[in-house]
Amino acid sequence: MTNLKVYVTTSDYYNHLIPGFAYLFNKYWSPNQAATILCYTLPDHSLPENFSMLSLGPPERFGNHIPEWKPGRRGANGESYPTPKWTDSLLSFFERITDEHFILLQIDYFINKPAELDKIDFLSSFLTSRDVAKIDLTLDLTRYSHRVFPHRDFQIAVSDQHAEYRSSLQAAIWRRDYFLRLLKPNRSPWDFERIGKEELKNDGKIILGLRQPDSGPVSYANLYARGKVDWRQLNKIEECVQHEMFDRDLIRRDWNGWTE
């Protein structure tokens, strides 16, 4: 368990994923780790005691009232879905909190293996440097230009200043002021990454992670792709765990957008 706060972003059309996400989080991370779901419409879910939900406001204020998989909606008329004002919805919340650092997760990234909490704690020790602005908890950083520095038993990966997707929204520890730099008005999650990746190039800040053979400290199945469940990703979850989740209605075959 880390002393950093964990925030998880969702949208109205992904709210059905919350119970399954919470189940896997507690199974593979810790039922003692507090996590806050940042949503729009508060769903009527019964969640474990370590989970809380906070509404960022009505979905129509941020364009989240239109399903991203509705025919013609994705990118129609120059509009950026899903949630074209995603950054606007997050801005006031992250301006308000006092945490200098936090962990940000996405609701459709289902954790599928025990989180390596010792490695998260090790990486967190570098947050004492003001130059360390972000720590990748996946292998995303290593897919782009980076350098590797051996340290104790670890291979520390450091993003090159010109690397792509320093703005990635995959599981990471963010320094709050660095995250706020990217919360420009009228940006969807895609815009946050796509436009933000150019804004974070050559900024002098350090983004680091670990280079490992199979997965980062937080391993996941990216359950949704373009508004539809991705069966190949779902199968990254252990089969017996899948069956248990189906039995408990934590995964359902009638979900909107479900395809095999």
Q: Give the rounded distance of the alpha carbon of 10 from its chain centre.
A: 9
- pLDDT per position as a tens digit, 25-83: 999 999 999 999 999 999 999 999 999 999 999 999 988 877 665 554 554 455 445 78
Q: Show Cβ contacts of residue 9 under 8 Å, excluding neighbours closer than 6 positions.
A: 38, 86, 90, 104, 105, 106, 107, 189
Q: What is the mean pLDDT of the chain?
A: 91
- pLDDT per position as a tens digit, 99-150: 999 999 999 999 999 999 999 999 999 999 999 999 999 999 999 999 999 9
Neighbours of 160 (CB within 10 A): 15
* pLDDT confidence of residue 92: 94
Neighbours of 43 (CB within 10 A): 16
CA distance 54 to 39: 6
CA distance 123 to 118: 9
- pLDDT per position as a tens digit, 150-190: 988 899 999 999 999 999 999 999 999 999 999 999 998 98
CA distance 13 to 40: 10
CA-closest candidate to residue 4, choices 178, 231, 172: 172
CA-closest candidate to residue 15, choices 260, 259, 252: 252
Tokens of 14: 């992904």
| Domain residue ranges of the chain, discontinuous segments joined by + | 6-115+169-200+219-247
Kindly report the length of the chain.
260
CA distance 192 to 244: 35
CA-closest candidate to residue 241, choices 149, 116, 114, 153: 114
CA-closest candidate to residue 221, choices 229, 208, 233, 209: 233
* pLDDT confidence of residue 218: 98
